[in-house]
Amino acid sequence: MFTPLVLPNGATVPNRLAKAAIEENMAGPGQLPGAAIHHLYERWADGGAGLIITGNVMVDGRALTGPATLVLEAHTPLESFRLWARAARRHGAQAWMQINHPGRQVMANMGGAAMAPSAIALDMGKHSKLFAQPVAMTAADIGEVVARFAATAQAAEKAGFTGVQIHAAHGYLISQFLSPLANQRTDEWGGSLARRARLLLDVVRAVRASVSPGFCVAVKLNSADFQRGGFSEADAREVVLMLNELAVDLVELSGGSYESPAMQGETADGRTLAREAYFLDFARELAAVARMPVMTTGGIARRAVAEQVLASGVAMAGLATALAARPDLPRQWQAGHDVEARMPAVRWRDKTLAGLARLALVRRRIRNLGAGRDGGLRYQPLWTLVVDQLRSAWMAKRYRAWRLSVNPAN
């Protein structure tokens, strides 16, 4: 667990524990990282993870996963991002920025652009109207997105990050192109898996060409999207084989989407995930064919489980909500303390609201960490969700004002 990992490009990760991405939703004015983000990442850097992956950073300010999401575009001022990278790297960890485009997973109250491979809206049951109706992307739209990923990666390197992770999981734009449910195109970006994977492969190539050889390029991929007729384990295997031919330094395996939140332990297709290390069986199989190191995230909160992951042939264990609950968990394990870290469970009948409450609890916790308050973890889910929704509405208003100030015509 605490031995270094040398990546294909020659970079070294100090140990095999990663702080996996958690969307912070803590952007300051201008959708930039501020003092709270910097302090939060100092806490995680102090915690001892060998790899620190940020929450997703948007490549296009017109399309955000949430109103307080960070944005890094070609002409974004970099000073606050430099301070962020410095905070994450202060004890020698690799610091990678997760870069993303939400595609159709955009809230309707954001007033932004919801683009997708096909004009197919999210199916969230009675909550579907919370999300914008997407429009099918043109070839020019697709080309612009590829260029935006490359520009954001280049800016991340200039800011001092040591790598980027391209988000191709959890139902966001690249994942939508991979899914035969969301992608019903009949052109060169739809139909066969090779065509559905074209956007991902083009983004990887463009990002790799825009950064230096020593800068790490990773991909986050669903092991499956856990929807009937969707992106499958067999598809994931084929995509990993495609990525083998490119200069990819690590693949992180996760699963699910807003419609089927397997990353939270829930699936839409009725499959039962492991109680811990949800995607380990999938990751073990994919690690056997991957030329690059494989990491898995989801449900890892105990040292014994992290050791099981690494003993199975998976190169890295990703910790997400566990490091929200206990930011010093790697240091505790390295010191021999067999502690675990979990956020409060939410077991409401309405799965969508339960998922939103779980996210709200995590966001409340990391905001407290960013403010220098450890506090306890006995948050009340309903009250936390209500406050989170009120905060989100206020941040959406601020975001809309910012977007109009940047581009009054849009």
pLDDT of residue 376: 63
pLDDT of residue 407: 72
Average pLDDT over residues 258-277: 64
Residue 403 lies in a domain: no
DSSP for 299-327? S--SHHHHHHHHHTT-SEEEESHHHHH-T
pLDDT of residue 280: 87
Which region among 156-165, 183-192, 254-263, 399-408 has the lowest average model confidence (pLDDT)? 254-263
Residue 349 lies in a domain: no
Q: How far apart are CA 380 and CA 386, in angstroms?
A: 10
Residue 299 lies in a domain: yes
Residue 265 has pLDDT above 70, yes or no: no
Which token pair is 218? 């990773």
Q: Of all residues in the chain, what percent are helix, strand and coil, respectively (each to 5)?
A: 40, 15, 45
Contacts of 377 (CB under 8 A, 6+ apart): 325, 343, 344, 365
Average pLDDT over residues 65-87: 97
Which token pair is 4? 């270094």
Query: Which residues are bridge partners to 250 per DSSP?
Result: 218
pLDDT of residue 326: 94
Which token pair is 52? 């620190």
Give per-residue pLDDT as tens, 194-207: 999 999 999 999 99
Residue 410 has pLDDT above 60, yes or no: no
pLDDT of residue 327: 95
pLDDT band at 273 (very low <50, low <70, confident <90, very high): low
Q: Helix, strand or coil for residue 338?
A: coil
Q: How far apart are CA 297 and CA 314, in angstroms?
A: 11
Residue 397 lies in a domain: no
pLDDT of residue 130: 83
Residue 409 has pLDDT above 60, yes or no: no
Average pLDDT over residues 7-26: 96
pLDDT of residue 279: 84
Question: 287's torsion region: left (phi>0), alpha (psi -120 to 50) or beta?
Answer: alpha
Q: Mean pLDDT over all residues of the chain?
A: 91
Give per-residue pLDDT as tens, 216-233: 999 999 886 777 778 888
Average pLDDT over residues 169-186: 94
pTM (two decimals): 0.94
List the CATH number of the domain containing 73: 3.20.20.70
Residue 276 has pLDDT above 80, yes or no: no
Contacts of 137 (CB under 8 A, 6+ apart): 115, 116, 117, 145
Average pLDDT over residues 86-110: 95
How many domains in the chain?
Answer: 1
Residue 364 lies in a domain: no
Give per-residue pLDDT as tens, 348-384: 888 888 888 888 999 999 999 999 987 666 788 999 9
pLDDT of residue 375: 65
Please answer whether residues 122 and 169 qualify as being in contact, where contact means their C-beta atoms are separated by less than 8 angstroms.
no
Query: Which residues are bridge partners to 318 per DSSP?
Result: 18, 297
Give per-residue pLDDT as tens, 39-51: 999 999 999 999 9
Angle at 196 between CA 191 and CA 202, to 5 degrees: 140
Residue 346 has pLDDT above 80, yes or no: yes
Residue 371 lies in a domain: no
Give per-residue pLDDT as tens, 302-332: 999 999 999 999 999 999 999 999 999 999 9
Residue 378 lies in a domain: no
Average pLDDT over residues 326-352: 90
Residue 47 lies in a domain: yes
What type of residue is 188? Answer: E
Q: Show the domain range for 164.
A: 5-343
pLDDT of residue 269: 55
Residue 258 has pLDDT above 80, yes or no: no
Which token pair is 184? 């019903």
